[in-house]
């Protein structure tokens, strides 16, 4: 009788997982920002004239974004990686930032991030293992588990870091998304080419001179 054994499939390394990625999805608060929320109350002139002690329930929510993360979106595009955000909150600030950066998929007010993640992957015509998700809190775990590469930012909760395949060097709002993009592009052997092309796009005269 044969003593042959069925060996378990070896676990993929983070780099091996990253080589398959064609779509990078991410949370906003705590990932694209440092997690702080700022609210500016809006009081109409008529209300203020009637009673200066009254405040309006209307308010504007605003956030701060890091320039390195903006560059990361451009670098990802050059490298052939589509991007998208999935967030529980609704924010006009986020909508405008997403438009400025030309992010491919923008989903706000999402309660079930895993389902949304799967829907985007399907729309993109990809397999789950070809998509990654960047998160910072436990609400992001279902989406991180659904894809081929789960990424936690440096300031993520302990439970999220434990399940992540890769943890960024920088915290959310401080260039964490840039770390994620760089890790993926380097794993795919595209980093140097992408950087040179990115520089050329922003310095056309220098690119022609070379």
pLDDT in tens, 96-127: 999 999 999 999 999 999 999 999 999 999 99
pLDDT score of 174: 96
- Residue 4 — very low, low, confident or very high, per pLDDT cuts 50/70/90? low
Q: Is residue 87 part of a domain?
A: yes
Phi then psi for residue 98, to 5 deg, are -65, -40
Mean pLDDT (whole number) for 148-153: 98
* Domain contains 48: no
CB 207 within 8 A of CB 199: yes
The model carries a pTM of: 0.82
Per-residue confidence (pLDDT) for residue 49, from 0 to 100: 52
pLDDT of 206 strictly over 60: no
Residue 104 located in a structural domain? yes
**Looking at residue 36, what is its pLDDT?**
72
Query: Which pLDDT value is given to residue 48?
Result: 45
Residue 45 counted as domain residue: no
Mean pLDDT of the chain: 87
Better-predicted residue by pLDDT, 17 or 204? 17
Domain that holds residue 195: 14-36+64-209
Determine, yes or no, domain membership for 69: yes
Residue 208 has pLDDT above 70, yes or no: no
Domain count, the chain: 1
pLDDT attached to residue 45: 52
Stretch 85-94: mean pLDDT, rounded?
92
Is pLDDT above 80 for 60?
no
49 or 183, which is more confident: 183
Would you tell me how many other CB atoms lie within 10 Å of the CB of residue 208? 8
In a domain? residue 58: no
Q: Does residue 171 contact residue 155 with C-beta atoms inside 8 Å? A: yes
pLDDT of residue 156: 97
pLDDT higher than threshold 60 for residue 209: no
21 is a domain residue: yes
Q: Which residue has the tokens 């329930």?
A: 57
Tell the residue number behind the tokens 């991180």, with chain if given.
Answer: 144
Burial of 11 (C-beta count, 10 Å sphere; 0-12/13-18/19+): exposed
Report the CATH number at residue 135.
3.40.50.1000
24 phi and psi angles, rounded to 5 deg: -115, 115
User: Could you tell me which residue, 52 or 163, shows the higher pLDDT?
Assistant: 163
Give the residue with greater pLDDT, 201 vs 80.
Answer: 80
């Amino acid at each position: 009788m044969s003593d042959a054994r069925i060996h378990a499939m070896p676990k993929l390394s983070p780099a091996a997982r990253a080589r398959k990625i064609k779509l990078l999805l991410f949370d906003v608060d705590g990932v694209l920002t440092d997690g702080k929320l700022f609210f500016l109350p809006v009081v109409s002139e008529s209300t203020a004239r009637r009673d200066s002690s009254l405040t309006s329930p209307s308010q504007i929510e605003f956030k701060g974004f890091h320039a390195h993360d903006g560059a990361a979106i451009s670098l990802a595009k050059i490298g052939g990686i589509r991007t998208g955000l999935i967030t529980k909150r609704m924010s006009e600030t986020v909508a405008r930032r997403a438009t400025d950066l030309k992010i491919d998929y923008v989903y706000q007010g999402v309660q079930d991030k895993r389902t949304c993640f799967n829907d985007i992957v399907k729309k993109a015509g990809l397999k789950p293992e070809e998509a990654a998700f960047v998160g910072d809190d436990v609400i992001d775990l279902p989406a991180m588990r659904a894809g081929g590469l789960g990424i936690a930012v440096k300031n993520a909760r302990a439970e999220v870091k434990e399940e992540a395949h890769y943890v960024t060097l920088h915290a959310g709002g401080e260039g964490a998304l840039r770390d994620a993009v760089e890790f993926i592009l380097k794993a795919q052997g595209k980093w140097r080419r992408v950087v040179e092309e990115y520089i050329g796009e922003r310095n056309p005269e220098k690119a022609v001179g070379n």
